[in-house]
Amino acid sequence: MKRFIVAFAILMVFGFASVASADMEAVNVSFGSLTLSGNLQAGFSYYIGDELLGGESGWQAVDRQDNYEFYLKRFRFITKGWVLSEKISHFTQTEFVGSAPKLLDLKMGFHYIPYTAIYFGKYIPKFSFFLPASTTNLYLIDYPLYAGGLFGGDAQAWRHTGLSFDVCTKWVDAELGIWNGFTGVMGEDGTGYTYAGANFSDDTNTGKDINLMIAGKPLDGLRIQFNFWYGQPLAGNEVDDGELTEINNTLMMYGGGVFYKADFGLVATAEVFMSTLNWAEIEDVREDLDPDSISTMTYNIMAGFNLNHFTGVPLEILLRYDFWDPNTENDEDENFGYKDELTYITFGLNYYLLQNHAKFSLNYIYKGEAWEDVLNKAGDDTQDGISNDELKIQVQVAF
């Protein structure tokens, strides 16, 4: 039965060979210009492995109830345009998949300085290649693992409220941003190390986050990028003589990568990022911390080739290797004593009916975990990791 479903899923992706195109119409506005666009994504997910991590101890393989299901991924509605002869630009993006519409981006730009734009609002800083990229052009269905790590939670968490100075020239790009920053989440023992994401509407403290991106473009299609992030997430408060004093953690992330896309269909990327979170000591909560910091590391390598240039068939073949280590120490401390590295290998196929405006995607995701001594489903033995490989099919229509 599983083989039949897999074969049927593959046929769904490649069973369509034509698409009708519609005439584009202009949008009339009271002042300036306005362009409307959107991205619709839906698909089918089938788990080759039927296990989840759970149980009373939280460290047991349990049976997955839904081994396959249809899903709605995104419905992004986007507006962009300008006023005052393109000197002032605007951009918004709203997500309609979920219990209620959610404003993702609100970005206003001022373009009075040559090669430089000053942006205000809520949007994704240019940290990495794929986080700020359009969701119509992620190549594979899911983001790299770093979107769910590096204290982010997911790609949505990387949206920040603040301002940035963006420089774009023929040979060099750069961004310097100042943001409200990440909001911390503490563990029960006061040494939690995860972050819920950015604080959008207001700030939790006076310590702002900053980011710096510098990218060189020595050849057509080649981009070499370096990223740095420094933040001071709120750890807690102390009261001394009736005065409230904030105590901040310190968070530093850095790394970069190489991105290359050739006219003949080749695309290749490699990225690596590391982070260090230093916990602040708080009276009666976290004193004499050991360890007093945690470091993470993640990297991914992706290569792909579109056959269209040589064969006329708009089929793209992709392979990505992801590694994520949320704790590079892996010491014997009771909080961080277990193996926690994740290794994902994703094989992907994209069939472009009309470039990114209409495409079908097929991804197989091998999910490897370094977890040791996980109780099996029957509860009578242990195993390493769980069985949770996944096959995904996705349809995308972008206008």
DSSP secondary structure string, 195-218?
EEEE--SS-SSS--EEEEEEEE--
pLDDT, residue 85, reads 81
- What are the domain boundaries of the chain? 2-398
What does the pLDDT look like over 112-140, one tens digit per residue? Answer: 999 999 999 999 999 999 999 999 999 99
pLDDT, residue 189, reads 46
Which token pair is 186? 């503490």
How far is residue 300 from each of residues 237, 257, 259, measured CA to CA in Å? Answer: 38, 9, 12
Does residue 132 have a cis bond before it (omega within 30 degrees)?
A: no
Long-range CB contacts (< 8 A, 24+ apart) of 19-24?
19/353, 19/354, 19/358, 21/354
What pTM was computed for the model? 0.87
List, for the chain, all residue ranges whose pLDDT scores fall below the cut of 70.
1-26, 149-157, 184-204, 282-291, 330-338
**CB distance 45 to 392 below 8 Å:** yes
In the three-class reduction of DSSP (H, G, I as helix; E, B as strand; rest coil), residue 6 is classed as helix
The CATH homologous superfamily for domain 2-398 is Porin (2.40.160.10)
305/82 Cα distance (integer angstroms) = 36
Among 310, 316, 223, 304, smallest CA distance to 268 is for: 304
Residue 4's φ and ψ, nearest 5 degrees, are -65, -45
